[in-house]
């Protein structure tokens, strides 16, 4: 099952490394930080770079939550595991499937391409294909799409790379 740990924004990589070093592979199957690609223009050229998809969160896969919970006491900088009060809750199957669909095996959301037709966005290529309803707004200048999705038991706004290649 997939669990989410809340950490201070900017410490995601450090926490993930600690988890990999401290917790055995028998308890923690995988620890990762979902990322997305974006394009930035500097030195006169467009460059692709990666950013954290959910700043302040680290994802973990385990079937032994009790043992994981005990091991996490030794992780410096951990804020909390996502849940309701005393109970730690895994992501729902729908949330897991959605993350796998957009991020793939390596949990990196690649750039998508789309067109604007009669004022509506249509994604022609990339992980956002078929998810146009999730897009709340786009920033063509920054080449980003802002999505609202249900995650962690609430509505979360996130940004991913989107290049609009045509408009009619």
Residue 9's pLDDT band, with cuts at 50, 70 and 90, is very high
φ, ψ of residue 41 in degrees (nearest 5): -105, 120
Nearest to 139 by CA among 157, 155, 152: 157
Query: What is the model's pLDDT at position 84?
Result: 60
Q: Please, are residues 49 and 37 in contact by the beta-carbon 8 Å criterion?
A: yes
Going by pLDDT thresholds of 50, 70 and 90, the confidence category of residue 86 is low
Q: Are 155 and 144 in contact (CB under 8 A)?
A: no
pLDDT score recorded for residue 85: 63
What is the share, in percent, of the chain residues with pLDDT greater than 70? 98
pLDDT exceeds cutoff 70 at 157: yes
3-state SS string over 110-126? CCEEEEEECCEEEEEEC
What is d(CA 25, CA 60) in angstroms, rounded to the nearest whole number?
12
Task: Report yes or no on whether pTM surpasses 0.85.
Answer: yes
* pLDDT of 82: 80
Name the residue among 78, 84, 85, 87 with its Cα closest to residue 57. Answer: 78
For position 162, which CATH number holds?
A: 3.30.70.940
What is the pLDDT at residue 150?
87
The residue range of the domain holding 28 is 2-167
Residue 120's contacts (CB-CB under 8 Å, 6 or more residues apart) are 132
Residue % of the chain over a pLDDT of 90: 73
Residue 151: its pLDDT value, please? Answer: 84
pLDDT digits (tens, 9 = 90+) for 93-139: 999 999 999 999 999 999 999 999 988 999 999 999 999 999 999 99
What pLDDT sits at residue 88? 79
Beta bridge partner(s), residue 37:
50
Residues 153, 151: Cα–Cα separation, whole Å: 5
- pLDDT, residue 4, reads 92
Q: What is the pLDDT of residues 25-38, one digit of tens each?
A: 999 999 999 999 99
Q: Which two tokens stand for residue 111?
A: 């750039």
């Amino acid at each position: 099952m997939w669990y989410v740990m809340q950490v201070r924004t900017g410490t995601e990589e450090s926490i993930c490394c600690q988890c990999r070093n401290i917790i055995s592979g028998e308890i923690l199957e995988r620890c990762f930080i979902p990322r997305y690609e974006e394009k930035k223009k500097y030195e006169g050229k467009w460059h692709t770079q990666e950013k954290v998809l959910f700043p302040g969160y680290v994802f973990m896969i385990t079937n032994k939550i009790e043992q994981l919970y005990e091991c996490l006491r030794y992780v410096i900088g951990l804020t909390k595991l996502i849940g309701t009060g005393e109970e730690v809750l895994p992501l729902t199957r729908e949330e897991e499937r959605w993350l796998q669909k957009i991020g793939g095996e390596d949990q990196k959301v690649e750039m998508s391409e789309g067109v604007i037709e009669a004022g509506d966005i249509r994604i022609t290529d990339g992980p956002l294909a078929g998810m146009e309803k999730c897009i709340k707004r786009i920033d063509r200048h920054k080449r980003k799409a802002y999505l609202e999705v249900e995650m962690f038991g609430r509505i979360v706004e996130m940004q991913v790379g989107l290049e609009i290649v045509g408009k009619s």
